[in-house]
Every structure is written in C-alpha cells, then in structure tokens.
Amino acid sequence: MNTSREFAAVILAAGKGTRMKSDLHKVLHPIAGRPMLLHLLDSFAQLDLKRTVVVVGDKREQLDAALEGRDVATALQEPQLGTAHAALQAREALEGFSGHILVCFGDCPMVRGETVQRLIAALDDGAKVAVLGFRPADPLAYGRIIANADGTVSRMVEFKDASADERACDLCNSGLIVAHSDDMWPLLDAVGNDNSQGEYYLPDVATGAIARGDTVKVVETDAGEVAGINSRAELARAEAQWQELKREEAMTDGVTLTAPETVFFSWDTALAPDVTVEPHVVFGPGVTVARGARIRAFSHLEGARVGEGCSVGPYARLRPGAVMEKDSFVGNFVEMKQATLGEGAKASHLTYLGDAEVGAGANIGAGTITCNYDGYFKHRTVIGDRAFIGSNSALIAPVRIGADAIVAAGSAVSRDVGDGDLRMVRGEQVVKPGWADRFHDAMKKKKAAAKK
C-alpha cells in the first residue's frame, strides 16, 4: 500500500462549454457572486493540498486572470481528446509529487472537502482507486458504476457504451476519482480510445485498475453535491441549491429569516446571531452584520458593515464602503456609499450619503444630499456629533458641519459650519397679497374666452 499522505488536485476545465452560449468561460460563471471554480477551490482549502493544477484549454486567458495570485498551476490540453487525456496534461506540473491525486471537474462547485476525505479514506482501507457515485432521480445519460453491496466496483461504463442491463443500474459516475500518484499515472497512460466517441475516458482509470486485479471502491454522495453545470438552467438550479443551503446555515447559526425563500446571500455574507432579516433582502459581496441588527424588507446591501443593534430600511441601499456604527439607523429610500454613520446617528428617509462621515447622534433630515461629485473628482462631507441637518438640504462637498450645529431646512451649504452654529441658506421670501386670486381670475376668463 502507498503510504504517502500528501494530496494534490487536478481540476479539469478545458472544455468549451458551448451550451452556456457565453463569452465567459463556463467555470467562471458565478454562484452567489463567486465563480464556480473558486467555490470548488475554497472547498478544497481544508484538505491541505500540496499542489493544485487546473487543466485549461478554451478561453485560457480568462482562467489565468481568475487564478492570478493563487497557488494554482495551469496545464494546457490541446487538442482536447477526452477527460483522461486532460488529466494526463497535469503530469508535468505535478512532477516530483508523491501522494494521493484527486481528478475532478471544474463545473461541480458543490463538492465538499469532507466528501473528498471519504474517498481518501477508501484508499487508506486498501483500495487502489476510489470513485464518487450518486443516485439521481433520473439517471439520464450519466456513466454507470456496477458495484457490489460492499462498494467494490466491478465495472464502469459510459452511457453510450453501456448495455441495456448496465443502463438499468441507477448508480452513476460523478467523475471524481482518487488514486495514489504511483497508480494514477500508469493507469492514465494505459487508457485507450476504443469507444463510440474515440476519446480517452477518465473512468477507464478504474476499469484498468480492475483489469489488473486491483480493488476499486465507490463512495456514494447526494446527487445535488455533484451536479454538473452545463447550461444557464443548470446554473440557476445550482444557485437555488446554494441559497437554500446558506439560508439553513444562517438560521442554524441564530439568524432570523422571516421569509427565508425571499432572502439572497452572497458567498461571503456574514451575519451574527440575533440578526433579523425581513423579506426580499439581497446581500451582495462583502457584507457583515453584527448581533441584534435588523435588515428590513426590500433592502440591498453590498460591501457594507452594519453594526450591533442597527436598523436598515425598508427599501434602503447600502453600497460599497457603507459603515453603520452601533445603534445607527437608516430608513426607507436612504442610500449610503463610502460613508460612515456614527453611533446612534440616523437618516430616516429619502437621503443620499456619499463620501461622508456622520458623527455620533447626528440627525439627517429627509431629502438631504451630500453633493460629493463635481464632474471630475469626489469630495468628502464631514458632519459632527449631534449635528442636525434640516430636510431638503444640499451639503456641497468638500464641507464640514461642526458638532451640535444646525443646518436649516432647504439650505444649500457650500462653506464650513462651526460647532454649535446655525446655517440658513435661503432666498428672500416675498409675499404679494391677493396676487394668486387675481391670477386665477384672469386665467379663468382667458380660458372661457378661448372656448367661445
């Protein structure tokens, strides 16, 4: 038995993905805002991989860009002669490596690290090759695994080459396969292409091991974990599956979702216990929400940090760089971007806070706008602690409003306001007694004359 416990992964991502009908590489299509390939790499992070190789082909430059900065090698498959041929292209990148090798597909983002560990355990128990099987509701055209009750595999066959009896078997091949490097490379070298497609099939690694008298074991998992994504419809089903799992995880961790099926998470959404999320909330990437906060209905958050005890919405939008400190509040139709709302501060409705710093306890009246962009550059607005900004005010950045200052409603403020000052910027109010009555009378007479 091979005893080296080093572990490497070979991820096959050379296919054209024509059914996606997209200029974007298939494995870069996102689930919960993250490319499916990166979901897979994240799952494998717990496995202490010594090396990872992604086999590329079509749209290689997109994959190279997506993997930049990661400790991942790429290997080119050209021409593309089948999955076993693709796996062989990783041999050079794994030169000198001795240990277990997993080969899997890049379009199966739901595969969990725990499942891979079960495959490795099968090798530790004496198998030379371990494969991952599943039993879908409809086996369709999946390759079949013919196995005994103890999981020992006697035959693996592609659907196109299977007999009627073999097609009647519902144990299907997911495509994941594990073997020690001492076995994997010779078995891959021995794979031929004497089949209906004239391709070098990866399952023939297991077939070859069986032919030479080795033990091959199948480990079974849920069909949802290994569902491949080859079309937009399958991508949508994978998104729905991921969201359902994330919702269950959030509620298990102490988050209240009042209508779970209407809440959508990003791959990195982090909600603390005792957070409440009302219906129809969308979390984009980069959101953290602290304990006791409430996210009210129809709100959208992205790149935002919501502090303890805060309230957001309904119908609020927090854009990247939005920070709400403890017990602060934004209400309906409030938008924040690159702005901090201090502890206990509030903007109750109809307000835009962009490139701004709002002090603790400040009150931002309805219709307030921080005018942060002059057509060329962004400028900041700083509002001091406990300041009061009256409704329908425009704060023309760069500008600073002092602590305890008051800006009167309807003001357009373009100069700094000192601590404790009142700033009122309004045109002179003119009153003309009786003018409106005379105007209405004249217009009514004019309209009556026009009708005649």
Residue of 29, 85, 180, 349 with catalytic role: 349
Q: b/e string for 134-162 if b means 16 or more Cβ within 10 A?
A: bebeebeebbbbebeeebebebbbbbeeb
Cα separation, 172 vs 159, in Å, equals 10
Cα separation, 296 vs 105, in Å, equals 40
349 is catalytic: yes
For residue 256, give the nearest of 296, 307, 303, 314 by alpha carbon. 296
The pair of three-digit structure tokens given for residue 219, joined into one six-digit string: 């480990």
Cα separation, 93 vs 8, in Å, equals 11
Strands 369-371 and 311-312: unpaired
The pair of three-digit structure tokens given for residue 388, joined into one six-digit string: 């009061």
Number of Cβ within a 10 Å radius of residue 126: 10
Amino acid at 360: A
For residue 355, give the nearest of 337, 343, 376 by alpha carbon. 337
Is the separation of the CB atoms in 35 and 66 below 8 Å?
yes
Which residues carry out catalysis? Answer: 349
